[in-house]
């Protein structure tokens, strides 16, 4: 039990060292992540459509 208490004290100490981003920075970074995810999703969808067409053409279906 003593090890758990020591661990939690260290965790609390480490939380005091965290520099949290401002609200504006957090929103901006979130929007960048969402935009990148959307771009990748569209890219994967287009590639899936193109490769599916190629495979259908080769197989003759």
pLDDT per position as a tens digit, 23-35: 999 999 999 999 9
Are 21 and 29 contacting, i.e. CB atoms less than 8 angstroms apart? yes
Are 13 and 21 contacting, i.e. CB atoms less than 8 angstroms apart? no
Provide the token pair at 32. Answer: 């960048």
Q: What is d(CA 35, CA 18) in angstroms, rounded to the nearest whole number?
A: 27
Give pLDDT tens digits along the chain (61 positions).
899 999 999 999 999 999 999 999 999 999 999 999 999 999 999 999 999 999 999 998 6
């Amino acid at each position: 039990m003593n090890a758990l208490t020591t661990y939690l004290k260290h965790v609390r100490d480490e939380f005091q060292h965290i520099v949290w981003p401002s609200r504006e920075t957090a929103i901006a970074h979130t929007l960048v992540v969402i935009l990148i995810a959307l771009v990748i999703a569209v890219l994967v969808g287009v590639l899936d459509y193109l490769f599916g067409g190629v495979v259908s053409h080769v197989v003759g279906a």
